[in-house]
Amino acid sequence: MVVGFSLRMYWRRLKITGKKKIPRGEQGILMASNHPNTFMDPIIITVLTKIQTSFLVRSDVFKPGLADKFLRSINMLPIYRQGDKVDNIRKKNDEIFEICYKRLHQKKAIIIFTEGSHSSVKKLRSIKKGVGRIAFGAEEAFDFKLNSCIQPVGVNYIHDVNRPGGDVLLKFGEPIQLRDYLEQYRKHPAKALLALISEVKKRQRELVIHISDKTYYHTIHRLLIICRESGMAHLNLSGKKRGLENEFKAQKRMIAAVEEWISKHPEEAVKLAADVAAFDEAMEKTGLRNNELNLKVPSVAVLGWRGLFLLLGLPVFLYGYLCNIVPFTVPEKIVKKFKDVHFHDAVRMSVATFLFPVWWAIVGIAGGLFIEPDVPITLLFVGSLIVSAYLAFWWKRSFRRWNSLRRLFNLSAKNDVAWVMMQALKSRITKTITEIL
């Protein structure tokens, strides 16, 4: 419940589709997911499905002692890879697989990240054979009577990974029934494994934003951001129709159309890539961020009213922030210790989820013992901390948006050279994409 609330605070929009396709309690489920955002991915899957899951994690995060015990206590299981400084890797993995077999027999769900490692690239990378080996191994361990399935899963961070306030779309496909591959497995295990892995990859690819063109990957990825409005307009999507599922469809359609166009117009593709590169160069000079590209330049009145509203809310923000300064600042300090930015979301949210309730309890107890022993007043004070923390969080997010609008207004008002160049290039790029779509 607490984690679910934190998740919805951290991300602007969260949506799950295909939830009814999950065979809850009917059979063991191997949830085969892509892996764009380290520990955030299993948290999102577990919270949005409301299914207690186990998940396989690379072994190097299981430090001996407290870390190992804690991670296992929250249903994490280590998977050992070649290169890990561990003896008897095969034996250790066999022990983990045995645990997986038993949990599948108990009709539980296990999350396995089929790519084997995390990456925020907008594509489904090569699928490892582990998901198939565990699936067939479990069936074999129980005389091929287990009747388990593999559930394809796609975790999509629609815009940027590692950006609090972004959007997340979780998609589930139709389960792949292991019984359809058992006859082939008995005769030709290797062929059955390859066939199963191929089917998993095919179905997973349908559930994720996938850019297959290696040469123009960066160009296409940037087009998804620069021409977001064009992609949505092409599908006649506006207002309430612009949900995450429709944004997903728009991105998939744009990728397919652009990749086909590139294959047929190689010379024009070079020019388009050059325009995108020039746009990025101009954007860097302006200091704008990706989430600011599709904002409209505000009028003086809009900017003023928003600023006044924030100014009126400033005392509430200061009270909420200063009274909760420890849980607001400590997560950011801890995050800086992680060089891999893919860990930032999960670490920031997890630490904050733990610290805020602990902080409220400590302040409440201290206040009751040393300042005001009256219970109702103490509870009222703690309640004010909780409410003001939420309002401070909301104020910070609103301020960031206002600041983005202010920057756009200033660039436009000053007729900044880089800004003018950006607008000209965006117009040319958008025209090309509109013609392609």
Q: Express each pLDDT in 29-46 by its tens digit.
A: 999 999 998 888 998 999
Read off the pLDDT band of 164 (50, 70, 90).
Answer: confident
87-131 pLDDT per residue, tens: 788 888 888 999 999 999 999 999 999 998 888 899 999 999 999
The DSSP element (H or E) to which 152 belongs, if any, is strand 149-157
In this prediction, residue 344 carries a pLDDT of 83
In this prediction, residue 371 carries a pLDDT of 61
The SS3 assignment for 136 reads: helix
- Can you read off the two tokens belonging to residue 215? 């040469």
Q: How far is CA 218 from CA 221, 255, 428, in A?
A: 5, 12, 18
4-17 pLDDT per residue, tens: 888 888 888 899 99
- Can you read off the two tokens belonging to residue 35? 């892996």
The yes-or-no verdict on residue 290 having pLDDT over 70 is yes
Query: Per mean pLDDT, which range of 171-180, 213-222, 368-377, 409-418 is the poorest?
Result: 368-377
In this prediction, residue 335 carries a pLDDT of 86
Read off the pLDDT band of 148 (50, 70, 90).
Answer: very high
In this prediction, residue 238 carries a pLDDT of 55
Please choose, from the candidates 29, 33, 10, the residue with its C-alpha nearest in 3D space to the C-alpha of residue 21. 29
**Model's pTM, two decimal places?**
0.89
H and E: helices and strands count for the chain: 16, 8
**Percent of the chain whose pLDDT exceeds 70:** 93
What single letter denotes the amino acid at residue 259? Answer: E
* Ranges of each domain in the chain: 2-206, 217-286, 300-421
- Over residues 148-165, mean pLDDT: 84
Read off the pLDDT band of 243 (50, 70, 90).
Answer: confident
Rounded CA separation 135/425 (Å): 50
- Over residues 225-240, mean pLDDT: 66
7/406: higher pLDDT: 406
- Over residues 226-250, mean pLDDT: 72
Read off the pLDDT band of 417 (50, 70, 90).
Answer: very high
- CATH for the stretch 2-206: 3.40.1130.10
Please choose, from the candidates 420, 401, 399, the residue with its C-alpha nearest in 3D space to the C-alpha of residue 411. 420
In this prediction, residue 80 carries a pLDDT of 82
In this prediction, residue 162 carries a pLDDT of 62
Residue 115 and residue 34 in contact, taking contact as beta carbons nearer than 8 Å: yes
- Over residues 199-224, mean pLDDT: 95
Query: Per mean pLDDT, which range of 59-63, 209-213, 217-221 is the poorest?
Result: 59-63
Query: Per mean pLDDT, which range of 187-191, 289-293, 406-410 is the poorest?
Result: 289-293
Rounded CA separation 389/319 (Å): 9
Rounded CA separation 390/325 (Å): 13
